[in-house]
Amino acid sequence: MVMIIREMEIREEARTEGKSEGITEINALSSYLISENWLDDLWRATTDPAYQAKLLHEFSLLQSSKQNIKKKKRKPKESILLKLRPFRALLLS
């Protein structure tokens, strides 16, 4: 019985941690889109879960490439999002 209760507590902690991480990711993406003045993308991401998932994936790639650049101490490359910006409507529609 004690093991079952502890397992339930662990699952609840994991669920809470997952929610927190998700909120952090959404907030980071929203901040980035606002800072780049991509308000139309931010608005669409709030109403279209598939579009939001694609943006989160792109943002994740951007973040990991920034981390790799910092590790290698190279000049930052143009972000994936900036390169795809002109084609975003075609790619994500």
pLDDT at 42: 92
For 42-71, what is the mean pLDDT? 83
pLDDT at 18: 83
Backbone dihedral angles phi then psi of residue 79, each to the nearest 5 degrees: -65, 155
Would you place residue 9 in the very low, low, confident or very high pLDDT band (cuts 50, 70, 90)?
confident
On the question of pLDDT at 79 being above 60, the answer is no
On the question of pLDDT at 69 being above 70, the answer is no
Would you place residue 41 in the very low, low, confident or very high pLDDT band (cuts 50, 70, 90)?
very high
* Domains identified in the chain, total number: 1
Residue-range definition of the domain harbouring residue 51: 2-92
- How far is residue 92's CA from residue 49's CA, in Å, rounded to a whole number? 12
- How far is residue 27's CA from residue 24's CA, in Å, rounded to a whole number? 5
Helix 2-35 with 39-47: angle, nearest 10 deg: 150
